[in-house]
Chain A
């Protein structure tokens, strides 16, 4: 008997019990939906985060003080570390000290809130350069303007604010020219950024940018920096520049053992890699959990197949009497399980694709994020493949039971 004939008989068997067949595959459908949807979301989230990170540009190195964070407490170490200082900035900025470095933009984080009259906002306050803001986030004030190089040199008390900060402090009235308070000091608003939402690591709507000189010396009164954004000449290999930069900083800090570095360098590549690692690990974890529901669906299939085999004992006996071999019977029942689960897998993939599309539509329409509709091909193959595998694994035992039935006893079975 050919596979096609077996298939026909199996389909016949399923059609006879269409209601039960459909109920049986619900478990499989749910399992596959969970797996494929999680994988699609993981992929979409990864693409989303990476598209944000890529805003930094591939030719930027970020130098941070302290040890590279190796866990949650490591981040705090970074914020508290004070190893990046003025002399590092001056040295790196000097052309020729590190070949390939074309700009160094220092950044300082100012903790606390900002206020205007009775209104308080809690944005991220950055001491930075206007040039870096424009360059790294591709943004320019919609009203007013950026502060200038002279403002930085003069420690000017000026600020560019995000859209949400402006709304919280000033409401509908014009903010440019007004004075707000940061850490008790009056700062003049010179520009308001357009609403751009989350761009890479920053939500630009909730940011206040002031000259780094003002932030570091006049507000914080410290002599260290939170990070350096280092622009690299495109003609240079960024890995070489990174190595030279590290060597230069070690020299400056008197470090001989790279294990004892009091700074670390992050590239866009590093960020992309860690995002990939995190989203992949998360996706695998969630897929593993979703697979449990598939296992439950498989047990359901086995249960129904066992019932079906028992119910059709006489049919099995009769088929054997008219010439079916054990393997004909095995194939018939195995194919029934396989058709059920593979069908469930295909339905599951389609439902998951629909859910992913709806999610992408909702997120991009109502939250304004650049969230793509993706269903990774791997998820489709894995979804249908795992469903089929479940069919084989959980269909085999009932099918073997059917095949091994003694035809005489089977025919007598009531």
Chain B
């Protein structure tokens, strides 16, 4: 059983009586502990696909099974619960709350969890240590660099130890050095057992993953494995359409 299994998923937005088809039938399976990049030009539907997989949106048709459960059968509250415990998001724009400290930003998801309050600080500090920000606990987001902000956002995504991490253009607002540090960290999270889905339009970034799914016009145009050194043979044979 795949961790994420999409079957013929479509998404159509109806705005002002104009139907816009963003996903036109996507079938995709992602295994536990996989590291997948989703690539594609803007407008290809990669963000919409991520939103559906991240339970921020529902498909117009087709089925999405997460951990073997058809998400169409789940209530909005249940989806919120899964976003809280099973899924972590990292966004391009960080989305840290400016008026609370780094530590409190990391604790945000705990507000909506069952974890008792007396464990919150410790959990936040532990996860901030994991991203190397133990010295920034009481700083405010305005007082730290962009790279640090994105690492805080990653700590926030990790605080409840979710199974899947969705990273939406996490290096888009960063210089190449701190961007690389963030990618290294994402890779490390994958080796620690988290399933990672990285949405990006930069090939350089996408290659950090083991597998690259390319979308074009709402359909999967390409789905291939990445060799660790580029040319290396993958253990389970050469994937279809291997080009990179």
Contacts and interface: CB of A to CB of B under 8 A. Distances in A.
Given A322-B84, A323-B112, A315 B156 contact: no
Nearest to B108: A322
A174 interface: no
A36 B57 CA distance: 50
Name the prevailing secondary structure of the A interface residues.
helix
Interface in B118-157: 156
Given A5-B111, A315-B97, A318-B97, A324 B80 contact: yes
Interface in B27-54: 51, 54
Contacts of A315: 97
B112 A324 contact: yes
B77 A323 contact: no
B77 A319 contact: no
Interface string B2-14: 0000000000000
B97 A1 contact: no
Contacts of B77: 325, 327
A323 B97 contact: no
B85 interface: yes
A318 B100 contact: no
B113 interface: yes
B238 interface: no
B83 interface: yes
A51 interface: no
B162 to A, nearest CB: 10
A321 B83 contact: yes
B108 A318 contact: yes
Given A408-B56, A408-B57, A323 B109 contact: yes
A408 B51 contact: yes
Given A323-B83, A325-B112, A408-B56, A318 B76 contact: no
A356 interface: no
Name the prevailing secondary structure of the B interface residues.
helix
B91 interface: yes
Nearest to B96: A318
Contact of A322 (B51, B83, B100): B83
Nearest to B84: A323
A331 B56 CA distance: 20
A326 B83 contact: no
Contacts of A314: 95
Which of A317, A322, A324, A408 has the largest number of chain B CB atoms within 10 A?
A322
Given A5-B111, A318-B97, A408-B57, A323 B85 contact: yes
A320 B111 CA distance: 11
A327 B81 CA distance: 13
Nearest to B85: A323
Contact of B91 (A319, A324, A411): A411
A328 B95 contact: no
B240 interface: no
A12 interface: yes
A268 to B, nearest CB: 63
A311 to B, nearest CB: 11
B64 interface: no
A385 interface: no
Contacts of B95: 314, 317-318, 321, 411
Interface string A315-349: 10111111111111000000000000000000000
B72 to A, nearest CB: 18
A322 B76 contact: no
28 contacts: A1-B112, A5-B111, A9-B111, A12-B99, A16-B99, A314-B95, A315-B97, A317-B95, A318-B95, A318-B108, A320-B80, A321-B83, A322-B83, A322-B84, A322-B89, A322-B108, A322-B109, A322-B112, A322-B156, A323-B80, A323-B81, A323-B83, A323-B113, A325-B76, A325-B81, A328-B112, A407-B56, A411-B91
Given A1-B112, A408-B56, 7 more contacts: A314-B95, A318-B97, A322-B108, A323-B109, A324-B112, A411-B93, A411-B95
